[in-house]
Amino acid sequence: MATGVKAQRIEFQEDLLFTHRGLSGPAVLQISSYWQPGTPITIDLAPGIDLAAALAQAKARSRRWIANELAQWLPARLADTWCARQAAWQRPINEAGDKALAQLAEHLQRWELTPTGTEGYAKAEVMVGGVDTRALSSQTLEAQAQPGLYFIGEVVDVTGWLGGYNFQWAWASAAACADALAAATQ
């Protein structure tokens, strides 16, 4: 699944998870670092596929239900649930209108939604924001304005994508700070 925040054109192609509380999974965790409350995100549920063309081709050769055709590219239960949203999508594909199929493709590949919120800090894997890096020494992480005061890891305004970058930052900044402290006490 591909998610994107429109204004900044930030995009990720990752897995998407439908949970009983809402959307989750890597795609949503990634885009959440950029999302601002009240703004929409756009989800392509079939990235890399020209779904409009694929459905038009299926219409010419198949009598299967639209949801069954869609299940080639989407999880079957998602295809079923999506097609249940409109009567025009609940029929054999050879009986579907061209406009209805084009609209179905557009909905699935440009699904725009405005999240009502997030699970907050309690469930967050990483926080955006924190102590401004410009206020710190890049060599030692010591505060420019307060000698002897150091900030490392999560509390600093450094946010990584999924993939271990936040651990890397926590460990690397800790090592740099520890080296500086050791040198200062020699």
Measured CA to CA, the distance from residue 89 to residue 103 in angstroms comes to 10
Q: Is 167 in the site for ligand FAD (CB under 6 A)?
A: yes
Q: How far is CA 156 from the centre of its chain?
A: 23
Residue 145 bridge partners (DSSP): none
25 touching ligand FAD, by CB under 6 A: no
Q: Which of 22, 113, 128, 165 binds ligand FAD (CB under 6 A)?
A: 165
Query: Rounded to an integer, what distance in angstroms lies between the CA atom of residue 151 and that of residue 45?
Result: 41
Nearest residue to ligand FAD on Cβ basis: 153
Contacting ligand FAD (CB under 6 A), which of 125, 129, 148, 182?
125
Can residue 126 be called a binding residue for ligand FAD (CB under 6 A)? Answer: yes
CA distances from 78 to 17, 56, 67, 68, 91 (A): 11, 20, 9, 11, 16
25/92 with CB nearer ligand FAD: 25
Helix (H, G, I), strand (E, B), or coil: what is residue 28? helix
Rank residues 56 and 131 by Cβ distance to ligand FAD and give the closer one: 131
Between 29 and 41, name the residue whose CB sits nearer to ligand FAD. Answer: 29
Note the residues at the interface with ligand FAD (CB under 6 A). Answer: 125-126, 153-154, 164-167, 170
